[in-house]
């Protein structure tokens, strides 16, 4: 693992929260993610399964966590199964976790090898009333690639047709939405790494720099601070900023344009997700500043509305209504069109067509109830934007916000966002020669 060790108390507490939701005789199983192939004999770097990591801190392939809180034998109530280390694996793949290392990471006392899993599962299933199996049930997921969890489900349902099988994902969706203080601290660390990367990017930003060169600055700073890219970064100059999921990052940043940077570091698998929009030459034009400040006002108001009990559809709708007013002032929406604004046909849709934000955690779009309501411990992104293709102008601003009993806490409030501050920082870099 690249990150510093995490207190296993985080994972012990998460498992405790999960088993409290299981009925008497309930059994839950969580799998590691597959290592995905590329071409030939190539593979991608493993992306740890977020549910398994949430419950154990384990990032190793083929690992399996079995939770059986009603088991008669206390040693069977939580068991972690791992690949057994060997000289062959050390030579070809590197060292694998020993049982003692896995105990220290996870806080699980009973660590067993994968060869013991079939027998242990059979014994537990014979004494279980309900088996909770996992699957990726995110509402925006693509399900073309079958997961280890789903393969196991098919096998167990075939072998034990008289058992009652239940979905684990709804329980995890409920639990993972609420971040513990330890999880919030990891998200804060990811935000701080992103802040450092954005400041480094600003030092390199100038007319003529390539978008991929700016991406390189971000990557270098993230890796230097033990982070990774939480998702494919968007570095979109000029009209490309109007493409919501622009990933090419191949164009030159031109004098007089804005560059939209949507990027987040992951630290210990916890993600950040920020967007900033910068003037390539260090100065906003009057029109750019007007659009920028309109988006910033909607961002500030939306953060203030990120409060306990708020339904996400109402949260988004309030931003749409406010954005419509801003677009009228910018001359982009007529007063007549604004008068016919509705939830079904928002008047701002042409220029602000996406959602307001999403849950953040072990996933960039983290697991959480689709409409909330927001509760203390949720971490939400807030990301309004205005996109004007006919002017080659796009502004999106995005911060990460913690919901608390005392109101919203902006975890990224220290990341420069005020237009005057951005111009000052860029002027300082220009005076000092910037980064070559």
pLDDT by 10s per residue, the chain, length 436: 789 999 999 999 999 999 999 999 999 999 998 888 888 888 888 889 999 999 999 999 999 999 999 999 999 999 999 999 998 888 888 999 999 999 999 999 999 999 999 999 999 999 999 999 998 888 877 767 788 888 989 999 999 999 999 999 999 999 999 999 999 999 999 999 999 999 999 999 999 999 999 999 999 999 999 999 999 999 999 999 999 999 999 999 999 999 999 999 999 999 999 999 999 999 999 999 999 999 999 999 999 999 999 999 999 999 999 999 999 999 999 999 999 999 999 999 999 999 999 999 999 999 999 999 999 999 999 999 999 999 999 999 999 999 999 999 999 999 999 999 999 999 999 988 655 3
The backbone torsions φ and ψ at residue 108, rounded to the nearest 5 degrees and listed phi first, read -95, 125
User: How far, in Å, CA of 277 to CA of 259, rounded?
Assistant: 6
Domains with residue ranges and CATH for the chain: 9-175 (3.40.350.10), 181-432 (3.90.230.10)
Q: Residue 363 is inside which H or E element, if any?
A: none
Q: Could you give the strand order of the β-sheet that contains 78-82, starting from the edge strand earlier in sequence?
A: 110-113, 78-82, 64-67, 26-31, 130-133, 164-167
**Integer Cα distance of 297 and 303 in angstroms:** 10
The reported pTM is 0.95
Name the DSSP class of 210. B
Which residues have a Cβ under 8 Å from the Cβ of 353 and sit 6 or more positions away? 244, 387
Question: For residue 270, with 0-12 CB atoms within 10 Å meaning exposed, 13-18 middle and 19 or more buried, which class applies?
Answer: buried
Report phi then psi at 4, rounded to 5: -70, 155
Task: Give, to the nearest 10 degrees, the angle between helix 169-177 and helix 9-19.
Answer: 130
Query: Measured in Å, how far apart are the chain's first and last C-alpha atoms?
Result: 32
Give bridge partners of residue 82 from the DSSP assignment: 113
In 3D space, the residue among 28, 7, 147 whose CA is nearest the CA of residue 77 turns out to be 28
Distances in Å between the alpha carbon of 417 and those of 11, 297, 310, 397, 398?
Answer: 35, 12, 26, 8, 10
Using left for φ > 0, alpha for ψ between -120 and 50, and beta otherwise, residue 184 falls in alpha
Which helix (H) or strand (E) element contains residue 14? Answer: helix 9-19
């Amino acid at each position: 693992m690249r990150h510093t060790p995490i207190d296993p108390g985080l994972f012990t507490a998460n498992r405790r929260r999960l088993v409290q939701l299981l009925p008497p005789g309930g059994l839950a199983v969580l799998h590691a993610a597959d290592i995905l192939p590329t071409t030939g004999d190539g593979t991608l770097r493993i992306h740890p399964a977020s549910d398994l990591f949430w419950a154990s801190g384990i990032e190793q392939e083929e690992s399996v966590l079995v939770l059986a809180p009603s088991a008669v034998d206390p040693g069977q109530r939580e068991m972690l199964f791992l690949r057994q280390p060997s000289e062959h694996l050390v030579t070809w793949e590197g060292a694998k976790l020993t049982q003692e290392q896995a105990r220290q990471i996870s806080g699980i006392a009973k660590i067993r090898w994968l060869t013991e899993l079939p027998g242990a599962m059979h014994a537990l299933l014979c004494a279980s009333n309900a088996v909770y199996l996992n699957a990726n049930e995110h509402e925006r997921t693509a399900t073309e690639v079958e997961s280890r969890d789903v393969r196991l489900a098919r096998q167990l349902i075939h072998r034990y047709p008289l058992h009652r099988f239940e979905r684990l994902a709804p329980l995890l969706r409920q639990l993972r939405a609420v971040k513990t203080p330890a999880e919030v601290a990891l998200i804060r660390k990811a935000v701080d790494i992103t802040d450092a990367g954005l400041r480094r990017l600003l030092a390199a930003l100038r007319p003529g720099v390539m978008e991929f060169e700016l991406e390189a600055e971000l990557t270098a700073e993230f890796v230097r601070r033990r982070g990774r890219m939480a998702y494919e970064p968007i570095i979109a100059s000029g009209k490309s900023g109007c493409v919501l999921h622009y990933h090419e990052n191949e164009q030159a940043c031109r004098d007089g344009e804005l560059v939209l940077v949507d990027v987040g570091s992951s630290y210990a698998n916890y993600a950040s997700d920020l967007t900033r929009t910068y003037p390539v030459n260090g100065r906003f034009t009057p029109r750019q500043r007007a659009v920028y400040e309109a988006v910033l006002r909607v961002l500030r108001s939306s953060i203030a509305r990120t409060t306990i009990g708020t339904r996400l559809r109402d949260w988004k709708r309030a931003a749409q209504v406010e954005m419509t007013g801003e677009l009228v002032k910018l001359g982009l929406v007529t007063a007549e069109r604004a008068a016919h604004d509705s939830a079904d046909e928002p008047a701002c849709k042409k220029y602000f067509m996406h959602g307001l934000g999403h849950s953040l955690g072990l996933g960039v779009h983290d697991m959480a109830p689709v409409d909330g309501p927001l509760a203390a411990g949720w971490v939400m992104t807030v990301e309004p934007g205005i996109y004007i293709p006919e002017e080659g102008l796009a502004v999106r601003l995005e911060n990460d916000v913690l919901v608390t009993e005392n109101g919203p806490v902006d975890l990224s409030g220290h990341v420069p966002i005020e237009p005057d501050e951005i111009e000052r920082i860029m002027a300082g870099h220009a005076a000092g020669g910037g980064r070559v």
